[in-house]
Amino acid sequence: MRVAFDEQIFAIQRFGGISRQFAELAAAFIDDPALDVELLPLNAPVINRYVLDDARVRARLAVRDARHEYVSLLRYFMRVQPRRGLDIMHNTFYLPHGLIQYPGARRIVTIHDMIPEMMPSTRRRLDLLTLKKRYVERADHVVCVSEATRRDLVRVYPSIKAPVTVVHHGVDKRFVPGAAPLPGLPERYVLFVGNRSQYKDAAVLFRAMAGLPGDLQDVHLVCVGGGPFTSAEERDHRELGLSGRVHQIGLVDAEMASAYGNAECFVFPSRFEGFGMPALEAMACGTATVLADSTSLPEVGGDAAVYFAVGDEARLAAALTEVLRDASLRQDLEERGLKRAHSFTWAKAAEQHVAVYREALAVG
């Protein structure tokens, strides 16, 4: 089966969940000949580090370092001839140029979330350039990364005609327990990962940390990624009495297992997620996990997490207090999380994608 990804996401994203998914699928297709996937080369300059830093994927896709997204995007938009000899074209994003027809090929489109459509205030400049609905309308088969995303897709586009299949992400093998602590981090800390603004609800977590009882005032909050705290956030920390107990750091991927694995617990208060990869990574590292009871997060966490109502800082503070005080509860959550994380693999995701490809080819 001759399968091609387009280079859209690799041309615009150095790091990120969407490009990680396609890089992981590419690696799984390469590693398992039994899947019978001939992944065709892109022959393109890209900026994505996941494919550039994996020698196998880089060679198979025939990509080179573009150094700047302008170079990679220009090369992508200059591709005017449709690719021929394909069985499957799996689009990686929703830029208009990707709607070009591929003679004889079936089109697969992945929907990662419906946040821009359901929460218009969150739209980025890039979202205004995309044609997600057009891709869905032209797809022979649509893949959603969670059942929650599938429900949102059908709610927003009720007239969708293509079959829709849910395929969960896997978790990278680097996320395992036992990593040594990172120098400079507090001895006891709660971990938050990612952007903090808008629907990510980091402000709810800040207020919950301020509401912890006196015997837990030695517990710090470490925020990884998302950029330095804004002046407004720093003002809020002072007013909440959190100065000196809240920290923001940037880490590379190789350091994340340590950040997860040495935290007292991981908290993800987001009110809307397409999947929620940080929750899965935390569980894979053997870390007790506290999640908002929203969208896809219960689908990922299952019975291996403690949940609180979205936006409820008092409930979150109570959940944190229980988890931080009760070592036996943390151990139970750690064991449950490890077991659950082991069921999310990229090999399994690759097999399910191949089943989608074969179903699309069998139609018509």
Residues 37 and 149 in one domain: yes
Residues 245 and 330 in one domain: yes
pLDDT, position 170: 97
Residues 165 and 237 in one domain: no
pLDDT, position 101: 82
The pLDDT mean for the chain works out to 94
pLDDT of 151 > 90? The answer is yes
Split at pLDDT 50, 70, 90, the class of 119 is confident
Containing structural domain, residue 77:
2-170+345-362
The domain tally of the chain equals 2
Residues 206 and 232 in one domain: yes
- Tell me whether residue 175 is in a domain: no
Residues 103 and 226 in one domain: no
Residues 335 and 357 in one domain: no
- Tell me whether residue 251 is in a domain: yes
- Tell me whether residue 237 is in a domain: yes
pLDDT, position 200: 95
pLDDT of 130 > 90? The answer is no
Higher pLDDT, 322 or 84: 322
- Tell me whether residue 288 is in a domain: yes
Residues 147 and 292 in one domain: no
pLDDT tens digits for range 18-52: 999 999 999 999 999 999 999 999 999 999 999 99
Residue percentage of the chain with pLDDT more than 70:
98
Split at pLDDT 50, 70, 90, the class of 364 is low
260-266: average pLDDT? 98
Write the secondary structure of the chain as one string of H (helix), E (strand) and C (coil).
Answer: CEEEECCHHHHHCCCCHHHHHHHHHHHHHHHCHHHCCEECCCCEEECCHHHHCCHHHHHHHCEEECCCHHHHHHHHHCCCCCCCCCCEEEECCCCHHHHCCCCCCEEEEEECCCHHHHCHHHCCCHHHHCCHHHHHHHCCEEEECCHHHHHHHHHHCCCCCCCEEECCCCCCCCCCCCCCCCCCCCCCEEEEECCCCHHHCHHHHHHHHHCCCHHHCCCEEEEECCCCCCHHHHHHHHHHCCCCCEEEECCCHHHHHHHHHCCCEEEECCCCCCCCHHHHHHHHCCCCEEEECCCCHHHHHHHHCEEECCCCHHHHHHHHHHHHHCHHHHHHHHHHHHHHHCCCCHHHHHHHHHHHHHHHHHCC
274-280: average pLDDT? 97
pLDDT tens digits for range 207-220: 999 999 999 999 99
- Tell me whether residue 180 is in a domain: no
103-112: average pLDDT? 95
pLDDT of 83 > 80? The answer is no
Residues 117 and 253 in one domain: no
- Tell me whether residue 184 is in a domain: no
Split at pLDDT 50, 70, 90, the class of 68 is confident
Looking at residue 236, which CATH number applies to its domain? 3.40.50.2000
- Tell me whether residue 181 is in a domain: no
pLDDT, position 55: 96
pLDDT of 125 > 70? The answer is no
Q: What is the pTM of this model?
A: 0.94
Residues 17 and 154 in one domain: yes
Residues 121 and 165 in one domain: yes
pLDDT, position 76: 85
Residues 78 and 161 in one domain: yes
Residues 151 and 201 in one domain: no
- Tell me whether residue 38 is in a domain: yes
